[in-house]
Amino acid sequence: AQSVTQLDSHVSVSEGTPVLLRCNYSSSYSPSLFWYVQHPNKGLQLLLKYTSAATLVKGINGFEAEFKKSETSFHLTKPSAHMSDAAEYFCVVSDGAGNMLTFGGGTRLMVKP
């Protein structure tokens, strides 16, 4: 069984300040973990993925995430928020075969000018 908990349903930051979106997971397997972004009326887009290589994963648009097994966490960060980062972000855990994805409830990121 696997599950994902996104600790904040909404996060608001000012443009140019750091972003932190929190995610904790539970998995019976050695997990694969992903962050997806969903802009309004757009399809889900992969930001980055962790598949048991380096624990610090760099993704698109300046985002990165660190896998911490001891804390069962996979938090998403970005040093400086842009207005275009405003969207819904989903933390996702995959089963061992990479077929079944389980999504968290999502975090809506708002960026203030």
In the complex, the residues that contact other proteins under the rule CB under 8 A are 32, 34, 36, 41-46, 49, 51, 90, 94, 97-106
Distance CA 112, CA 21 (A): 16
Q: How far is the CB of 45 from other proteins (least distance, A)?
A: 8
Residue 48 near residue 63, CB atoms below 8 Å: yes
Whose Cβ is closer to other proteins: residue 79's or residue 98's?
98
Whose Cβ is closer to other proteins: residue 34's or residue 111's?
34
Map tokens 């995610």 to a residue. 23
Whose Cβ is closer to other proteins: residue 52's or residue 80's?
52
Residue 16 is encoded by which pair of tokens?
A: 């140019």
